[in-house]
Chain A
């Protein structure tokens, strides 16, 4: 049990997927202008990343390894994620319309979210077993959501501040992300 707690703390805080591993930065900057969109994106990522982590693990160890097709993992994973996203979208539309409406545009965007794909590849590279892969995926997803929502909160406040012209928009957003990353950096001593 202790193992899993350590994994969770590591993946959420110390090795935060956005701020320490730099995966998924496009949606990080793109969807953090408003709190509402940030929450939507965070929910969609938690949902898809956990499922993608589990399914790519199964595809890798039950299909690619027995047939010695390991070198195809890049293409196999991206196809799995793309079809998974499509499937989840259709399923939600039919059976849980409220959640579907909440996630909205963010579901299809996740196909090209490097956080999802990167986390799956990292799980395989670290040769984790099934339970650990599941917990790691969940931790990465929660870390993504946490960082994104925190960042959106900060960015909403920046709108009220007077920023020098050349620094405006993306530039100040990146510097802010740097400061946020610095605070997460302080967790490094924990594990």
Chain B
């Protein structure tokens, strides 16, 4: 059953939104979401790799022998990850430093490999591109949402772009607010994601 192109795109936004519905690629989700800037930065980097690798995999899907396909996918993905790594070193060095080891870790992010294997290797170029874009945007939005919740509760701020000083400080509006530092620490990440998943289940149960 072929879905329409719009469906391929929009399924990534709610029906199959990566960290919640598919429960894949949790490491960056938990690891980097201490500030909003990290959240969207990581999301965009992953989205770039996802779209490019989906494109290349679907382009080469008839050339790659099925026995060695996983190895080929990994090499394609690793190439784009290096591209992102070098680009970020050149143009967004501070973000690169604060994301740290999680940039090279996009290689082993199950979402990227999962989409290459489950979708791009079986579908044409246009649906694969849209699929990558949809899942990528869904991933970026969920990372940003989790990061925003953690940062506003744990630190009382929302940093959209640190260098350009585009940030929101809760202390300016509610002086009595005491940051709950637990949220930006590792245990808070697990609990916050667990509760968000619970809310998603509450809303989405049909």
- For B181-204 the 0/1 string (1 means CB < 8 A from A) is 000011111110111011101100
**Which chain B residues (160-198) contact chain A, with CB distance < 8 Å?**
185-191, 193-195, 197-198
- For B18-56 the 0/1 string (1 means CB < 8 A from A) is 000001111110110000000000000000000000000
Which one, B104, B109, B191, contacts A74 given CB within 8 A?
A: B104
B75 in the interface, Cβ–Cβ < 8 Å? yes
Q: What's the least CB distance linking A97 to chain B, in Å?
A: 24
* Given A75-B82, A167-B198, A181-B190: A24 and B27 interface contact (C-beta under 8 Å): yes
Asked if B27 and A25 sit within 8 Å, CB to CB, the answer is yes
User: B74 — nearest CB in chain A belongs to which residue?
Assistant: A78
Instruction: How many A-B residue pairs have C-beta atoms within 8 angstroms? Tell me.
Output: 119
Complex Cα distance, B202 from A167, in Å, reads 9
Asked if B194 and A178 sit within 8 Å, CB to CB, the answer is yes
Asked if A172 and B101 sit within 8 Å, CB to CB, the answer is no
- For A89-118 the 0/1 string (1 means CB < 8 A from B) is 000000000000000000000001110011
Which one, B71, B108, B194, contacts A114 given CB within 8 A?
A: B108
* B contact residues around A130 at 8 Å (CB): none
A47 in the interface, Cβ–Cβ < 8 Å? no
User: A19 — nearest CB in chain B belongs to which residue?
Assistant: B186
B120 in the interface, Cβ–Cβ < 8 Å? no
User: A112 — nearest CB in chain B belongs to which residue?
Assistant: B108
Which one, B101, B188, B202, contacts A118 given CB within 8 A?
A: B101
* A contact residues around B125 at 8 Å (CB): none
A4 in the interface, Cβ–Cβ < 8 Å? no
Complex Cα distance, B186 from A76, in Å, reads 30
B149 in the interface, Cβ–Cβ < 8 Å? no
User: A168 — nearest CB in chain B belongs to which residue?
Assistant: B201
Asked if B101 and A122 sit within 8 Å, CB to CB, the answer is yes
B4 in the interface, Cβ–Cβ < 8 Å? no
Q: What's the least CB distance linking A163 to chain B, in Å?
A: 10
B113 in the interface, Cβ–Cβ < 8 Å? yes
Asked if A171 and B198 sit within 8 Å, CB to CB, the answer is yes
12 A-B Cβ contacts within 8 A? A21-B31, A23-B105, A25-B26, A25-B30, A74-B81, A74-B85, A118-B27, A167-B198, A171-B198, A171-B201, A175-B194, A178-B188
